[in-house]
Chains A and B, each alone.
Chain A
Amino acid sequence: MNNKTARFFSRPLLKQSIKANVLLLILVTFALCLITTAMSYASSIETAADKQIDSETQEEFISYLFVFSTYNSAAGTDLSYDDFVQSTDKSGYDQAFQMYNAKAGGDFSSEKFGQIIDTMTEAKADINAFVRYFEYYVAINGQTGVFTGKELTMEDCISTVFSMMGINQEKIDRLKSIDIDSLMNRMYFTMSGLLLPFLYIVITANALIAGQVDRGSMAYVLSTPTRRSAVSITQAVYLAVSVLLMTAATCGVKIATSYAFADTVNLKQILTLYLGMYILLLAISGICYFSSSFFNLTKKSFALGGGLSVFFFLCSVIGMFGIEMFVQMGMGVKELDIFNKFTIISLFDTEAIGTVGTASPDYSFVWKLAVLLGIAVATYIAGAVKFNKKDLPL
């Protein structure tokens, strides 16, 4: 008979833990991967729609329209963007460009206009809107106001319309400056992306120790030559590794879908974000592991581990409405930022990590992650020590 004692690790216990908890792990991981895929897809559409054609191209396009309109009024032709695109014979246009080039100096040509149109089409720019804009521009510019006698300009027209709708220029400028990617990261990594892993951690950490002590089934493990230290280490390994697998799978899906949907992928940034997420989840799992090891009753273990996790999560959600980006958007109040001081989730600094892989990276996220890692190590060790010393009602 094999009479070895398990001091630090118990294979049968690991097998048992896997059998009992792997289903939840798979479900949560699967859901996270689905969400990640959807997010990658959404952000690829978002970036495509958001893609700004550089102002040079815009100006050039407008100047071509200007050439058309001047030529039309001088020669009585009706050159237009629509006509240019539809007609196969570009000789009329070539003629107009040659004349204009000779008169005003420039290098307008049908080929170049074709290239500009291609660039704009590729960027999914609404060309018709530019054409309409030009029409308004021509119609308004040069006119004077009936009351003021002042010259009317297109820019003034637009800002007047907005201010009538209650939107001032400042707000528009701020909205333009918001980095959608950074906002999405913040929303995903400190809120929506955490809910399921938190749920998994609270339930699993509880089931691994307190649940079995409370029910009494731990007796079947501890009545065999399995040390308590083997139990606490095995369960800690299961918890930490299962969270790692979950995060790694999600990260893998994120990278794969990013390459599939987007043109440029900031691999370094994605990896850092998911590493940060793992360290945050490790800290949360450490807290839940400690609470599960400390208490003999499931309800108490749930109250501490689950309660703290929910508290941190809620503070992160409320605190989100206090961050600069939200305040800028007019969707938040600066005072709510104080909630970010109550949650360890804010030690996962997605904004700073967002600068990784850019020209000026902000490495202030590193010490914050180190603090989270410290919390994780301390709570895991404290939990294991407590479990080894306490009275068990088995």
Chain B
Amino acid sequence: MDDIVIRADHLTKDYGYGRGTFDLNFEVRRGEIFGYVGTNGSGKTTTIRQMMGFLKPTSGSITVLGKDAWADTTAIKRFTSYVPGEIAFPDLPTGTEFLKVQAEYLGVTDMSYANRLIRDLQLDPSANLKRMSKGMKQKTAIVAALMGDRDVLILDEPTTGLDPLMREVFISAILEEKAKGKTVFMSSHIYQEIEDTCDRVALIRDGRIVDIADMNDIRHHNVKTFRLGFRDKADYDDFRAKYSRIEAEYPDKLHLTVDVDDSGINAFFSLLAGYQLTYLSEIKYTLEKHFAGIFKGVTENEQ
């Protein structure tokens, strides 16, 4: 079986005035959680709408399970679940009613999985759909999507409106889906949840993919960053002169930020042994930092 579940091939949707998505190329592999990060208006939702067959690409294509997302969209829907970015429910009285109708659309007859999701997310579906809080609506939408038990989950900012506790519950639900072998495509502008769940992450800016990062590279980055505090100015100056990879200096506090390669870690600590330190702490390499670095590179190139 083809291991590529979603493939964007020069996918372009040009709305004019520089808006839209341009020349997107990415692949989502079976069983992985693929994060899609970008600021508001960067083109995340436009990408997902093309993936769902709601928008026809201007040029290029996007396929899901080998089928064209525009032409064969209905065939694809038998294997996908979707949480839209904007939660607007149909004109139905209660959440229960909505989930029942949705089950019918999806051809779901056994509601036990849906009921488990409802319990896990602590959702009260009997509430009036229109009076639900944002979080409640989001939970309802998540249940409506996940209950289909489909192979591919396409989630557009699924955690909007969830409180931190519920976000945890949601993330564990997503990880559980992954454990079942499902493929997840998830957009977000919150780095934290992407870091906690995703295997690979694409960064989109102004409609173009800037970088696709492997979370393993980020979690196990081979350059570590430390912040050091020195007891006196002499030590501070001396170290500064001797060590080459200094990232930032804070002379009034006698602090330094330094990069250390994993291979040079022993040499680094041997060197440190000769100084009087007040503290040492590792600054974790995060996705945000990674992308900030790429952004910096992109902007410098543009200039």
Q: Which residues of A contact B (CB under 8 A)?
A: 1-5, 7, 10-13, 15-16, 19-21, 207, 212, 215-217, 219-227, 389, 391-394
Contacts and interface: CB of A to CB of B under 8 A. Distances in A.
Contacts of A392: 49, 54-55
Contacts of B86: 216
A25 to B, nearest CB: 14
A379 to B, nearest CB: 23
A10 B105 contact: yes
Binding site of B, secondary structure by majority: helix, strand, loop or mixed?
A: loop
Contact of A216 (B53, B55, B88, B92): B88
Contacts of A15: 101, 104
A393 B90 contact: no
Interface stretch (B73-81, B179-187, B245-253): B73-81
Nearest to A222: B54
B78 A394 contact: no
**Lowest 6 CB-CB distances: which A-B pairs, in order?**
A2-B107, A20-B91, A223-B82, A224-B105, A12-B104, A216-B88
A332 B70 CA distance: 58
Contacts of A212: 90
Interface residues on B, range: 35 or more
Interface string B39-61: 00000000001001111100000
Contacts of B145: 223
A19 B104 contact: no
Given A220-B144, A222-B53, A392-B54, 15 more contacts: A5-B77, A12-B104, A15-B104, A16-B101, A19-B97, A207-B91, A217-B90, A219-B52, A219-B88, A220-B89, A220-B98, A220-B102, A223-B145, A224-B102, A227-B74
A224 B91 contact: no
Interface in B98-148: 98, 101-102, 104-110, 144-145, 148
B149 interface: yes
A222 B74 CA distance: 8
A327 to B, nearest CB: 48
B160 to A, nearest CB: 14
Contact of B49 (A1, A221, A393): A393
B77 A225 contact: yes
A225 B104 CA distance: 11
A5 B104 CA distance: 12
A13 B54 CA distance: 18
B90 A224 contact: no
Contacts of B74: 5, 7, 225-227
A19 B105 contact: no
Contacts of A7: 74
B107 A1 contact: yes
Given A16-B101, A394-B84, A5 B90 contact: no
A222 B82 CA distance: 10
A311 B91 CA distance: 29
22 contacts: A3-B107, A11-B104, A12-B104, A15-B101, A16-B101, A19-B92, A216-B84, A217-B91, A219-B54, A220-B84, A220-B102, A222-B77, A223-B81, A223-B145, A224-B148, A225-B74, A226-B74, A226-B77, A226-B105, A227-B74, A392-B55, A394-B52
Contact of B107 (A4, A20, A221, A391): A4
A299 to B, nearest CB: 16
A12 B102 CA distance: 8
Contacts of B75: 5, 225
A160 to B, nearest CB: 69
A394 B46 CA distance: 9
Contact of B88 (A3, A217, A221): A217
A3 B93 CA distance: 27
B144 A2 contact: no
B82 A219 contact: yes
Interface string B152-185: 0000000000000000000000000000000000
A11 B288 CA distance: 47
B69 to A, nearest CB: 12
A222 B56 CA distance: 15
Nearest to B13: A391
Contacts of B55: 391-393
B101 to A, nearest CB: 5
Contact of B56 (A13, A223, A391): A391
Contacts of A3: 78, 107
B299 to A, nearest CB: 31
A180 B287 CA distance: 82
Kindly name the residue among B54, B84, B101 whose own CB sees the greatest number of chain A CB atoms within 10 A.
Answer: B54
A389 B91 CA distance: 25
Contacts of B81: 223
B95 to A, nearest CB: 12
A19 B91 contact: yes
A2 B90 contact: no
A82 to B, nearest CB: 70
A19 B110 CA distance: 23
Contacts of B90: 16, 20, 212, 217, 220-221
Given A5-B78, A212-B90, A222 B102 contact: no
A222 B90 CA distance: 12
A339 B216 CA distance: 74
Nearest to B149: A1
B261 to A, nearest CB: 47
A226 B102 CA distance: 11
Nearest to B53: A222
A226 B110 CA distance: 20
Nearest to A2: B107
A276 B149 CA distance: 50
- Most chain A CB atoms below 10 A, which of B53, B106, B149: B106
A220 B49 contact: no
A224 B106 contact: yes
A11 B104 CA distance: 9
A231 to B, nearest CB: 11
Contacts of B144: 220
